[in-house]
Structure 1
């Protein structure tokens, strides 16, 4: 079996999609991504994750269309159920994730990037959900995650028209967080991940979870959860270390406890 997903462990873990030339999503890649996500999620050293594609042509250009014929009448059990499981696994990582996008992020590739907490794009990147042009749906979260990020009107425009956006347009509507010169998205994503890794890890994880729940809950419920989480975090050694480091004018050393 070819290795299609490469993992680098550490405080800033990295997951690389390596299915040349366009890093397309096949069932084999999805299965390997599932194992990679489990590995970095279970590693106690992990404080942030960078997801990127090998090379500069594509972050991920979408599904392997060569698999479509055999999916007729069986797309749920042979493709979408596994993808939904794995994409949710990425979205629900206990630590923040950053997608580094160079080249194309289309279809399932963009749906993968939507699962990340932050997205950095090279200025030559192209992002889109062109599935309707093929007579199918963006069925691995595109119709649900995209409107939560850019709003329903923009999501309808992107999905119904199926035309890719350039990096500047993606930045203007909040689809990506940063645009950097082509070829430097991975470096910029690593810098963001390193900054996150230097923050209090328990507070970071709590903040990610609270923000993810904010759109799904009434405000009063969210505020109650925020209060409970704040009380738990303030009781940690990290909270003491943060205050002591600030008063001593030195960088904090967070131990995650």
Structure 2
């Protein structure tokens, strides 16, 4: 990309180790990697329409920047990676311009990115947050991380790739176990299931993800990209086709009056109990 065009495209990502605040999403370039942080710790990093749009813009900037090779997605603070969609503002999230193309959570329907992505998961990784973690190529989790789909209680469907990516990552039975029951599992359970690839001490998920990113960027980039491409394009059916199917079948879910009633209960502070996984033997 010519120098002038690159400067216009995105000045924020040109200077290594420079931190850039983008309201509810924070970005930081470290060498040839970029850290994208969901920055709403006061609400467990749940995603509203503004956050979704900023996530999309961050990924698009990463896509354009030829000097950046790996994206690390994480959440601000130690309590939550992302607790999902902001259910108090779910209508605006779905109505966000471009949501049909990029996904309500901002990036879940972006299936043509040609660079590696890593999720650094700290704390709660739930519902739409789980879908964002699954959007990444692989996941590094801290000991305090937990994963699940408790939004099952409110009738909120997985429309950010969860029905397509989870079975590809953990297999059919494990995926349906998480999707149908609403059970929340700990990091050890996620590791056994293959949902995460490494579990590290609390506070070390991001440093470890960056360590892995640093290793990846040192490899010849063409072979890394082509191996990654062959993996994704070799899946059947194609992920993009599955994502379209997910969006289509859940149109009736989003119009379901019972979901609207359950969301009113959520706003009123009612919390139905979820089943718990058994203790490890």
* TM-score grouping bracket, smaller chain normalisation: 0.7 to 0.9
Contact 2:41 2:80 in 1 (8 A): no
Q: Which residue of 1 aligns with 2:232?
A: 212
Could you say which residue in structure 2 is the equivalent of 1:60? 82
User: Matched residue pairs, number?
Assistant: 214
Measured in 1, the distance between the counterparts of 2:75 and 2:94 equals 25
Structure 1 residue 187: Cα displacement: 0.7
Task: Give the gaps of 5 or more residues in structure 1.
Answer: 219-257
Where 1:139 maps in the other structure, the secondary structure is coil
Specify whether residues 67 and 116 from structure 1 end up closer, same or farther in structure 2 by C-alpha distance, changes over 3 A only: same
Between the aligned partners of 1:59 and 1:132, the Cα distance in structure 2 is 19
Name the structure 2 match of 1:23. Answer: 45
Q: Which residue of 2 aligns with 1:190?
A: 210
Q: Does the Cα contact within 8 Å between 2:170 and 2:193 map onto a contact in 1?
A: yes
1:6 corresponds to which residue? 26
Task: Report the CA distance between 1:203 and its aligned residue.
Answer: 0.8
Q: How far apart are 1:80 and its partner, in Å?
A: 5.5
Provide closer, same or farther for how the CA distance between residues 185 and 160 of structure 1 changes in structure 2, counting only shifts above 3 A: same
Once residues 237 and 165 of structure 2 are traced to their aligned partners in structure 1, the CA distance between those partners, rounded to angstroms, is: 16
Task: Kindly state the Cα deviation for residue 75 of structure 1 after the two structures are TM-superposed.
Answer: 4.6
How far apart, in 2, do the equivalents of 1:23 and 1:75 lie?
A: 17
Checking the alignment, whether the CA contact within 8 Å between 1:15 and 1:36 is kept in structure 2 is yes
Give the structure-2-normalised TM-score: 0.71
Unaligned runs of 5+ in 2: 1-20, 239-281
Q: Does the Cα contact within 8 Å between 1:113 and 1:119 map onto a contact in 2? A: yes
| Structure 2 CA distance for aligned equivalents of residues 47 and 79 of structure 1 | 25
Identify the residue that residue 36 of structure 1 maps to in structure 2. Answer: 58
Q: How does 1:12-161 map to 2 (within 5 A)?
A: 12-21=33-42, 22-68=44-90, 70=91, 75=94, 81=100, 82-83=102-103, 86-89=107-110, 91-161=111-181
**TM-score normalised by length of structure 1:** 0.77
Per-residue CA distance 1:53-82 (angstroms, 9 max, x = gap): 1111101011101113x46xx957779624
For the residue of structure 2 that corresponds to 1:87, the secondary structure is coil
